[in-house]
Chain A
Amino acid sequence: MDLKMDLEERLRAETWGKPSSVNDLPQRVPPDRQTQFPNFASHKNLQKREDQDPSISNYGMRIEPSFSEFNRPSECQPPLPSNPISQDRGVQMNDILQLGKTQEWDPKAMLNNLSFLEQKIHQLQELVHAIVGRRGPVLGRPDELVAQQQQLITADLTSIIIQLISTAGSLLPSVKNSLSSASTPPIRQLGQLGGILNNSGSGIGLDSNLVLPSQGGSKVPDQSNQVDPMDQSAIDNLEDHESKDDEDGDEGENLPPGSFEILQLEKEEILAPHTHFCTICGKGFKRDANLRMHMRGHGDEYKTPAALAKPHKEAGSEMMLIKRYSCPYAGCKRNKDHKKFQPLKTILCVKNHYKRTHCDKSYTCSRCNTKKFSVIADLKTHEKHCGKDKWLCSCGTTFSRKDKLFGHITLFQGHTPAIPFDENKGGLSLQGEHNEDTNKVGNVSFSFGSSTPSSGGVQNIMEDVKGNVDDPSSFFSPLSFEASNFGGFNEFTRSAFDDSEGAFSFLLQASCNYTQKNGGQSSSNNLE
């Protein structure tokens, strides 16, 4: 019981502690929202009748926050038609339930639903028991297993929550009315409710044209054959949604809010001169005692000495609470403060998301010079289709593979890797913009000025430069003298390629103009 209290407190603290971008909403979460927890808990306990089993009560606790989360968004929606404006959500829900009871309430159907739910929870309990029993002997590839089990349980829990909601929802006259008027099948209703539940942003107010959010990241167990025939179709429908977007790791994952732990790692944490680090969130501490106090915040499971000793081995209890990540960029949909917050699944997702969304697209395909990427893997994928020779040496030689370029540089003294053009952006934005324009010009004019006809439609710029260097009357020579006296080979390589953003950029600029006046090659643009 103590444990339960604690957890409840924690959950409450979590929901409260959640940084509220809710600030900009007209209404805040009502202060007496806590009362809602007991309300729901008691309601549920009534439904389940017994459930003194700790594991079950645990689930109860899991589910509760999602109720509260469910309630929150609806606050920003216009109030339900049948309901006067009420600040107290808990009371409001109860009112609605009461209302439903007085109007039309089929206790038999309700009992059916409830007993079905009970049955389902028992099944889940068995499953978890089985997992607990199996944990010891299983050794190989524990990560995969854990993930699968997690998904299994998540899926089950989700469907239980959805059905609970739908049971309660059937008592809601407003929903019923609007649905019947829109002549949506009950399945739709269920799905919609699921959507509301899962996507904390969408409210009841959005009607049947609401697109059902996909149910990514949860493997669905073969439970359809165990299901009460009454709810068969509904379950099937949900399962469809659950399994459909299974592979899509990044997009559209809709876990019920509160069923996962949100982590947001600050980069500053990494540099902190601490000696004790939290294995869960990475926060550092000067004293182990403070780390242990901190671990309490991660939940009851970390309070056992065993969990504290080696958390990576004892993943048992920890895996129950799924971890999701928040993007540190304020205002982003992936940031936990966002109204329609959609968490990220893994740290890799965070990395990729952050790069793709909030960073400069600094990787430009050197082949086509138009496509830009912020994640290098994306660039690589693109380049498989776009071009072959992308790695450039200062001598002008191009390579299809980076290791070949580095082999070349290892072999030849004075050769250095050449910086691709998009790099200019990194240094000076103004110059970068300027380059973009001139690059195009350069490319175009090259096809006129080049002595060696290009083999394809896409022209390699570095070849162009090479040509220039070979040309004794090249306008580069004066520049080379001024820029660097490195002697020999280095001289032309440097002037030709590496001074891209150097102090001599203005000289290059000048030489640009000069050549343009002369009507010669304007390929110098490429060098900026």
Chain B
Amino acid sequence: MKRHKPAVAPAPAPEGPALFDLLSEEIVFMILDFLDEDPLDRKAFSLVCRSFLALESRHRKSLRPLRAEHLPTALARYPGAAALDLSLCPRVTDASLAVVAAARGDALRSLDLSRSRFFTAAGLMGLASRCRGLLELDLSNATEMRDSAAAAVAEFKNLEKLRLARCKSVTDIGVGCIAVGCRKLRLLSLKWCLGVGDLGVGLVAVKCKEIRSLDLSYLPISNKCLPSIMKLQYLEELVLEGCFGIDDECPVILKDGCKSLKVLDMSSCQNITHVGSSSITNGAGCLQHLTLAYGSPVTFALAASLKRLSMLESLKLDGCMVTTSGLKAIGNCCLSLTGLSLSKCSGVTDDGLSFLVTKHKQLKRLDITCCRKITDVSIAHITSLCAGLTSLRMESCSHVPKEAFVLIGQRCHALEELDLTDNEVDDEGLKSIARCSKLSILKLGICLNITDEGLSHIGKSCSKLVELDLYRSAGITGLGIQEVARGCPSLETVNVSYCNDITDASLMSLSKCKRLKTLEIRGCPLITSLGLAAIAVHCRQLSKLDIKKCCNIDDAGMIPLAHFSQNLRQINLSYTSVTDVGLLSLASISCLQSMTILHLKGLTPSGLAAALLACGGLTKVKLQASFKVVLPQPLFEHLEARGCLFHWRNKVLQAELDPKCWKLLLEDVMH
């Protein structure tokens, strides 16, 4: 708040700058370094006076422009910005890249084109010839990119980090060029580069000896390329998620390699059985983080083999079949686990889990999402033994009775993240959980037993709360929200979707949370434009808003939103009473990138067309399929050429269920 003061009161101008002039530029820069929490703070600083503007411009190291059209001015204003993130620009052409190359030249260090489209290999080549100092390049999602573009990338001789995720058209040849060209690579991500096989990866491993981190997820590679990977001297992180071509032969190879490996992810490698994964662990003695999610069953043999990994800190077994003996063996083997994830593991029992936690009292993060067999026995063990727990996720542990949640609050005071979605927790439980004063993420979605009373306790004592999820927790009406809004000023994300009884009063109290960035109030029919206006006026940082099915929100809510929420990126307007006028007013939000506009009764084709044309920065729009026929095709072609993608939906209008009905239906699904 202090920082805003000079902006508000520039009255003592005569002496102010003089005093400030005494500070050297370095000192001011150091001060500015601390202004990184909130981008608006920097803006406020630069608006103070001309010298502050100049200082801030020189200090800025990274830029993330919203439109490529503004690149020339932005680059001229911030001469020190060596890192450029163009992922928000809907359209980045070769000309834009040429502008970057001309303005920055060898000074450019990092470039993010991960969501950009419309540039070609020629543009990259131009960039490569002028920006020889580039260290980091992100070309993810360039699905059209071919080997010729990869060959252009190979011209960045000093590149250290390269991300090519989902560049599906690149083949071994292209990756071969990169391997030969970029010898200093330390990080390479080839995730989903489906055209790259053993040969390309093998060549990378042979030529780029400096590699620290290698992501080969979902590549059609086999065991053949693994020996050369294992010879990489500095390799620390290896991701082999979903590599179906790798089978039990691989661990034999892994055995003799990679002493430096610290992180290994072999999730969804369906062809590695427990035999394979048991012997993997022979080689990598320094392994700290191991992920074997969605793989073979966790049996005694597999778990026992973890014994060799003396440095192991975290273990992820999400979605695996887990046996009790396996869990016990994990308990006996790994001595120093601080993180354990058993999310969606079938076969987790009270017996196994209780034994495991008796051996791992150091656990800080535990994920037992959807472990539906466990009861209060496990919770009692976990809470009493792992007092240092900072994160506990236990969505849908349906057999845990409400009394067990009291234990969590009584014993685990270090908790920072707690996910109780779809559980039996009640007000007593919340009252106890309120003692976890460090709590920053609290998820209470689909908890039908909680009411305002319980939530009030949270609001009174969990002042550090950043994220609160009350999705479909219909017992919440307003008082609880009010208490939370009062007690948790740092809230950034709030979800009260389908809490039918929420009114404008709740939103008005929530508007006190100045840092609010994401607000979801789906299906709250009592909320009107008035409440939304309060949010818009006070929460200037709001970037994501979901007001789907808030049928009482109309144009009167959109106008303040358009006026004040200049940081809004994403909005869902479906099923509201917004009409052409409201939609058109939203177009004045220059940041707006994504809109979902389904079933707006008051929307006419011409109104929609006008709004779409007026919103220059749109990248994604979800529309009713009927508009596709009604509006002229050239309009969509034009918008697509601007970088906007359309998603056509043909959903039938559905009546909303009462949350309790919904839950019952959900239980029907289960039984």
Chain A positions within 8 Å of B, measured between CB atoms, are 13, 16-17, 19-20, 23-24, 266, 268, 270-271, 275-276, 287-289, 292-293, 295-296, 303, 305, 308-310, 362, 376, 402-403, 406, 409-410, 414-420, 423-424, 426-428, 431, 483-484, 498-505
Contact = CB atoms under 8 A, between A and B. Distances in A.
A502 B123 CA distance: 8
Best-surrounded residue of B141, B346, B396 (most CB of chain A within 10 A): B396
Contact of B172 (A24, A402, A414, A505): A402
Interface in B611-669: 625-626, 629, 647-648, 650-652, 662, 665-666, 668-669
B652 A501 contact: no
Contacts of A310: 321, 346
Contacts of A406: 172, 176, 199-200, 202-203
Contact of B471 (A287, A409, A502): A287
Interface stretch (B146-154, B535-543, B583-591): B146-154
7 contacts: A19-B650, A293-B662, A406-B176, A406-B199, A426-B145, A498-B177, A503-B125
A501 B120 contact: yes
Contacts of A289: 396, 421-422, 445-446, 666
A292 B122 contact: no
B671 interface: yes
A288 B148 contact: no
B148 A417 contact: no
A426 B148 contact: yes
A19 B625 contact: yes
Best-surrounded residue of B120, B174, B343, B652 (most CB of chain A within 10 A): B120
B213 to A, nearest CB: 20
A297 B422 CA distance: 21
Closest 3 CB pairs of A and B: A426-B146, A502-B125, A427-B121
B510 to A, nearest CB: 21
A426 B446 contact: no
B523 to A, nearest CB: 13
B249 interface: no
Given A271-B166, A423-B147, 20 more contacts: A288-B370, A289-B396, A289-B422, A292-B666, A293-B666, A308-B670, A309-B346, A310-B321, A310-B346, A409-B203, A410-B207, A416-B176, A417-B177, A419-B151, A426-B121, A426-B147, A428-B121, A501-B152, A504-B129, A505-B122
Best-surrounded residue of B147, B206, B648, B666 (most CB of chain A within 10 A): B147
A419 B120 CA distance: 15
B427 interface: no
A292 B200 CA distance: 40
Nearest to B143: A267
Nearest to B147: A419
B669 A292 contact: yes
A501 B147 CA distance: 11
B180 A288 contact: no
B478 interface: no
Interface in B146-188: 146-149, 151-152, 154-155, 166, 169, 171-174, 176-177, 180-181
Contact of A426 (B141, B149, B346): B149
B395 interface: yes
Contacts of B279: none
B227 interface: no
Contact of A295 (B203, B395, B626, B669): B669
A501 B121 contact: yes
A41 B148 CA distance: 60
A426 B169 contact: yes
Given A287-B421, A287-B471, A308 B669 contact: yes
Nearest to A17: B652
A118 B304 CA distance: 58
B133 interface: no
A410 B148 contact: no
B276 interface: no
Contacts of B210: none
Contacts of A308: 669-670
Contacts of B200: 406
B607 interface: no
A288 B147 contact: no
Given A362-B146, A500-B148, A416 B665 contact: no
Nearest to B495: A286
Given A289-B396, A427-B149, A417 B176 contact: yes
Contacts of B177: 416-417, 419, 498
B369 interface: yes
A472 to B, nearest CB: 26
Given A292-B670, A403-B199, A502-B125, A427 B471 contact: no
A499 B369 CA distance: 53
Nearest to A363: B171
B126 interface: yes
A270 B125 CA distance: 30
A24 B471 contact: no
A288 B422 contact: yes
Contacts of B446: 287, 289
Contacts of A502: 122, 125-126, 129, 152
A74 to B, nearest CB: 23
A295 B670 CA distance: 11
A499 B125 contact: yes
A271 B173 CA distance: 26
Best-surrounded residue of B174, B625, B652, B671 (most CB of chain A within 10 A): B625
A427 B146 contact: yes
Contacts of B665: 293, 296
A420 B151 CA distance: 11
A423 to B, nearest CB: 4
A424 B321 CA distance: 49
A188 B304 CA distance: 68
Contacts of A499: 125
A503 B129 contact: yes
Best-surrounded residue of B126, B176, B666, B671 (most CB of chain A within 10 A): B176
B144 interface: yes
Contact of B154 (A13, A293, A498, A500): A498
Nearest to B421: A287
Contacts of B129: 483, 502-504
A276 B121 CA distance: 37
A119 B266 CA distance: 53
B181 A416 contact: yes
A289 B181 CA distance: 48
Contact of A303 (B195, B207, B346, B669): B669
B181 to A, nearest CB: 7
A417 B173 contact: yes
B652 A13 contact: yes
A262 B135 CA distance: 46
Contacts of A295: 669
Contact of B126 (A268, A270, A416, A503): A503
Contacts of A416: 151, 154, 176-177, 180-181
B369 A498 contact: no
B182 to A, nearest CB: 11
A270 B172 CA distance: 23
Nearest to B318: A275
B396 A288 contact: yes
A288 B318 CA distance: 14
Nearest to B218: A270
A427 B120 contact: yes
B650 A424 contact: no
Contacts of B471: 287
A288 B151 contact: no
Best-surrounded residue of A268, A276, A308, A431 (most CB of chain B within 10 A): A276
Nearest to A503: B126
Nearest to B670: A305
Nearest to B629: A23
A427 B145 CA distance: 8
Contacts of A505: 122
Contacts of A498: 151, 154-155, 177
Contacts of A483: 129
Best-surrounded residue of A310, A417, A420, A426 (most CB of chain B within 10 A): A417
